[in-house]
A and B are shown apart, each in its own frame.
Chain A
Amino acid sequence: MNVNGRAVTADVEPRTLLVHFLRDDLGLTGTHIGCETSYCGACTVIVDGRTAKSCTMLAVQADGAEITTIEGLAADGELHPVQEGFWERHGLQCGYCTPGMIMSAVGLLSENPDPSEDEIRHGIEGNICRCTGYHNIVRAIEYAAAKMRGEEPAPAEWETQEVTA
């Protein structure tokens, strides 16, 4: 298989899950493990252009596939626009869900470069976040979408909203 642009050849036990192969054999620990039952989305990676939950996929099933993990997003030390969006719009708190969330956002934006808020929420419905309440995640993805379309992202809410408390 090809992982983040690098050809990888390995003999694995048929039982080995893709997420364990990525983390333990390739040392790519950016992909997190949460539930191992396909529920939380922490383990999301991109397989042949589409998002997949790597906890419920066998490594052998990815034979010959092209895989992108969170480590494969930044190019030449520059953050990917989605990573930048999560940074600029505070799209994370504990960070547990973040790699999976970012991969889902990348998957969404590759299919729909200009998603509405509803479409963003639909696009990340397979990723659970216990901390943020999703609001800033949606803003982070809007920021990235604008950047990737070559537009200026809307200013952060805390720069435009009056504080009334």
Chain B
Amino acid sequence: MEYVRPKALGEALDALAAFDDPTPLAGGTDLMVEVNLNHRRPDVVVSLRSLDELRRWDDTWIGAGVTFARLEGADDPALAQLARTVGSPQIRAAATLGGNLGTASPAADSLPFLAAADAHVVLKSTAGERRLRWDEFFVGPKQTVRRPDELIVGVELPSRPERQAFAKVGVRQAMVISMVSCCVLRDPSGPTRVALGSVGPTVLRATDAEEVASQAARLTDTDLDEFQRRVSAEVRPITDHRSTAEYRRHAAGVVARRALERCLR
């Protein structure tokens, strides 16, 4: 295994272009587990740790190298909430947003927020820059359109309402992969966006449910019932060793409703 530690973004992009199948290494909380389990044997590892360019973070931009420990202090309530639920202190100190996007697990906890916020993922290579909406970037479970020579440099966040909630269901609170996760962003006058993770091949938006929730500033119990029903109808869960599709469908509706109710208070 070869280990490359570029000092600047340009150097990193050169390294990614120079090797055949380079593997970026950020916090290593996904990658190193796979290496230790012998699921992956990278020939060339390009360490991103020294790249200050990836650590930039402001209201409209989160660099790929920003850790979940830092995101715990986010001004966006949903972002701070989801960051707090990732792994454990050791994991949050190392795990980055870029790594969460790179692995692209359907259960990755940052994805519902990014989807609800209509974030764009920005990729860079020596050939140039690509700016892709979240649903153009994620194409399947652990599948993205990133080319091996491209680096995720960060995500662009359009303006978003302050009323936000993130909720997830796992077997136990800490250290488990979520079975259903959900982010709701709501403008006080009505417009609402709802994204769910772990209940489809990629993170998804529940657009039929968004329609019900978006129609009014005040929602009745009947509206909330209908919202919950539509979320459950729209998700596309599978059965696996962690849970059944039926349970996930039910839980998705419940979790989304709970998140919406938190935005209404």
Contact = CB atoms under 8 A, between A and B. Distances in A.
Interface of A: 14-15, 17, 36-39, 41, 44, 50-53, 55-58, 60-61, 63, 104, 107-108, 122-123, 125-127
Given A14-B1, A60-B3, A61-B47, A52 B175 contact: no
A58 B90 contact: no
Interface stretch (B31-39, B161-169, B209-217, B222-230): B31-39
8 contacts: A37-B33, A41-B90, A51-B93, A53-B90, A53-B94, A57-B32, A60-B5, A126-B174
B89 interface: yes
Secondary structure of the B contact surface, majority rule: mixed
Contact of B36 (A52, A56, A122, A123): A56
Nearest to B37: A37
Contacts of A123: 89
Contacts of A125: 88-89, 173-175
Contacts of B6: none
Contacts of B16: none
Given A37-B33, A57-B32, A126 B88 contact: yes
A39 B90 CA distance: 10
B136 to A, nearest CB: 31
Given A14-B45, A56-B32, A56-B36, A126 B1 contact: no
Contact of B90 (A17, A37, A52, A122): A52
Interface string B87-100: 11111011000000
B28 A58 contact: yes
B225 to A, nearest CB: 33
B36 A107 contact: no
Secondary structure of the A contact surface, majority rule: mixed
A52 B32 contact: no
Given A17-B32, A56-B36, A63-B5, 11 more contacts: A14-B3, A37-B33, A38-B29, A38-B90, A39-B175, A41-B88, A53-B91, A55-B36, A57-B32, A58-B3, A61-B28
B69 interface: yes
B105 to A, nearest CB: 15
A96 B158 CA distance: 48
Contacts of B47: 60-61
A15 B90 CA distance: 21
Interface residues of B, number: 25
Given A14-B3, A37-B36, A60-B3, A107 B49 contact: no
A38 B174 contact: no
Nearest to A54: B90
Given A61-B47, A61-B49, A56 B88 contact: no
Contact of A56 (B2, B3, B29, B175): B29
A63 B4 CA distance: 12
B2 A14 contact: yes
A47 to B, nearest CB: 8
A47 B239 CA distance: 39
B45 A56 contact: no
B2 A104 contact: no
Contacts of A56: 28-29, 32-33, 36
